Amino acid sequence: MSKSISIFDTTLRDGTQGEGISLSADDKLKIARKLDDLGVHYIEGGNPGSNNKDIEFFARVKELHLNAKITAFGSTRRKNTVTEQDEGLQRLIAAGVPAATLVGKSWDFHVHTALQTTLEENLAMIGDSIAFLKRKGLEVIFDAEHFFDGFKNNPDYAAAVLTRAREAGADWLVMCDTNGGTLPQEIHDIVSAVGIALPGAALGIHTHNDCELAVANTLSAIGAGARQVQGTINGYGERCGNANLCSIIPTLQLKMGYHCIPGDSLPQLTNTARYISEVANVNMPVNQPYVGAAAFAHKGGIHVSAILRDSRTYEHIVPELVGNKQRVLVSELAGQSNVLSKAQEMGLNLDPSSEQARKVIDKIKDLEHQGYQFEGADASLELLLREATGEMNELFTFESFKMLVEKTAGRSVVSEAFVKLKVGGQSLYTAAEGNGPVNALDNALRKALQTYFPQLKDMHLSDYKVRVLDEQDQTAAKVRVLIESKDYGDTWNTVGVSSNVIEASWEALVDSMRYALLGQISLDQESDTSEPRGLVNH
């Protein structure tokens, strides 16, 4: 039995049907290159007849000279028509791709209700369309839509659909759980039955996540003999999404002994997932298996104490195998092991038996009691630990800020911030407008600092969250602000707490810039020049 699995990525087609996801042609080309670097076998680029973006993608993707097979998606010919005159099939050929995915009905209910044609005509549509594309030299992947529902309703007809597709020359027969309602044991039994009925057929699986079983159903199908997996990065897709390749690939490769992508590509998985989420402008769930930020995060003191001895105590794989990393969270539940582990991770010398270590732990717990939350703000925690160990190099000193928020009749609100700082012994006073108080503060702070620290132009705020900590105090309640910041190579989170949302935002904002400048030499330590200039790494 072959242990190789063909990975068919449909992020650019099925994935874009997910709510809130819209990719430009440039976005799709960037993602295609990233998927190719990962080593997937097929990249389904879209439907060349559905929109101009997909047409542009197929025209430009040839310039990338990718190793993966670029695949175009389309449907079987229309009922009671001539295949050679079908516009959809002609567009598949015109796309100039080596492979085409052809979807056809396999549920008799759908044939009668959606297509409103006969069962025999549907079989003819499938056979004629596949044979036509094969004559044009394309590899054909046949997606049997609603296959499992169809098999449960009328197994003879569902099997006849696959048989007709195979006879017409389809290279892959892919069984689709289109509504996502089938259970793993049902998948296994049906795929096994198909394998017996069609010995030697190249079978694939395409599942949706409506019962949160898409990954389990895919693995079940592989165990029953399927050898192609169709899915998307991060599980993007219509309704509840498609099967998540970021979970399927490492599970098959690391735990089940199958070969999916090159071994040296597997450590790119986390970076690929996060890159694609960034291009798609969709936040990744922190608890996403394998590639999520919390996939290998540890909070309880007993857990942390154990993983410091041997990570296998609370980690099912070595995180680096998929390009992720172990994280230790610090919170009110933290023990000494958590803090020491974080300090060690940062390269800080913190003696566990010292008074310094005890004070740091007590300070963290006191701040948590006030409302700070460091498990979601690693950057603020690192700054705190560096201050405690005397290894924090302050590059600028805050003196004051003022806010002006003005609303006049017939005009939108105008926010202006005035910030006073001291950098290298020099006082700076700047003002800037923004589309809100926090944006105005951000702009004013950057305006003051970028002359001295030009690298700040590469960072930006990517997320901003405010949480009321005690709703009983109503508008006077204390709030916690969490800010996520990014540059070209990193993401970090900072926190601020106050009964004034502007002050809390300021705290988190300043921390985000202090963290971005870690490792920089202060102006006082630089060579004897008074000219503001960019700084170098330590």
Q: Count of alpha carbons within 13 Å of 378, Cβ hemisphere only?
A: 20
User: Nearest CA to 148 among 232, 81, 217?
Assistant: 217
pLDDT per residue over 82-102, tens digit each? 999 999 999 999 999 999 999
Task: Report angle CA 19, 24, 26 to the nearest 5 degrees.
Answer: 140
417, β-bridge pairs: 403, 432
Q: Is residue 76 classed as helix, strand or coil in its secondary structure?
A: coil
Would you say the C-alpha torsion 432, 433, 434, 436 has a positive or negative sign?
A: positive
C-beta separation of 172 from 128 below 8 A? no
Contact 520, 538 (CB under 8 A): yes
426-434 and 414-423: which strand pairing? antiparallel
Secondary structure element (H or E) that encloses residue 61, with its range: helix 52-61
Residue 360, CA distances (Å) to 226, 299, 334, 386 in order: 55, 17, 12, 10
Phi, psi of 520 (to 5 degrees): -90, 150
pLDDT at 531: 40
Positions in the chain short of pLDDT 50: 1, 332-333, 527-538
Amino acid 2: pLDDT: 54
Percent helix, percent strand, percent coil in the chain, to nearest 5 = 45, 20, 35
In the sheet that holds 491-498, the strands lie side by side as 460-468, 479-486, 491-498
Residue 326, token pair as written in the block:
């172990």
Q: What is the pTM of this model?
A: 0.71
Query: Quick one: pLDDT at residue 475?
Result: 57
Up-side HSE of residue 500: CA atoms within 13 Å toward CB? 7
Strands 491-498 and 42-46: unpaired
